[in-house]
Amino acid sequence: MSGMTADGGNEGKQGQSDKLIEKIRKKFMEVITLNAQINSDGLLQLQLPDEFKNHHITVTIRPESTEWLSVLQKTAGTIPDLERPSQGE
């Protein structure tokens, strides 16, 4: 029977409301990963599923760059007084 808990009691409006909120959260808080190329004019175009039409979304950009690696390689070991203290070995 709908609205009944395992012990036979009614779950009440709060329980139903919580379930509805959780269902909506799962639907709209999922992470979708898309790979895209930024055009030479600097524009990024994304084709999203129809279910996202007329909704506000947040887009996070994570560039795939190895520039950080070259910076790390140039700076690694350049601080002469930085040593790992004895760990009781």
Neighbours of 34 (CB within 10 A): 9
Domain count, the chain: 1
- Evaluate whether residue 53 is within a structural domain: no
Looking at the domain assignment, is residue 88 inside a domain?
Answer: no
Q: Does the residue 11 lie in any domain?
A: yes
What range does the domain containing 19 cover?
7-40
- CA–CA separation, 83 vs 25, rounded Å? 47
Q: What is the pLDDT along the chain (89 residues), one digit of tens a residue?
A: 444 555 454 557 778 888 877 777 776 677 778 888 888 998 988 888 887 888 888 888 877 776 777 777 777 767 777 777 788 87
Residue 18: inside a domain: yes
Whole-angstrom CA distances from 55 to 7, 49, 58 are 40, 11, 10
* CA separation for the pair 70, 76 (Å, rounded): 10
Name the token pair of 81.
């007084």
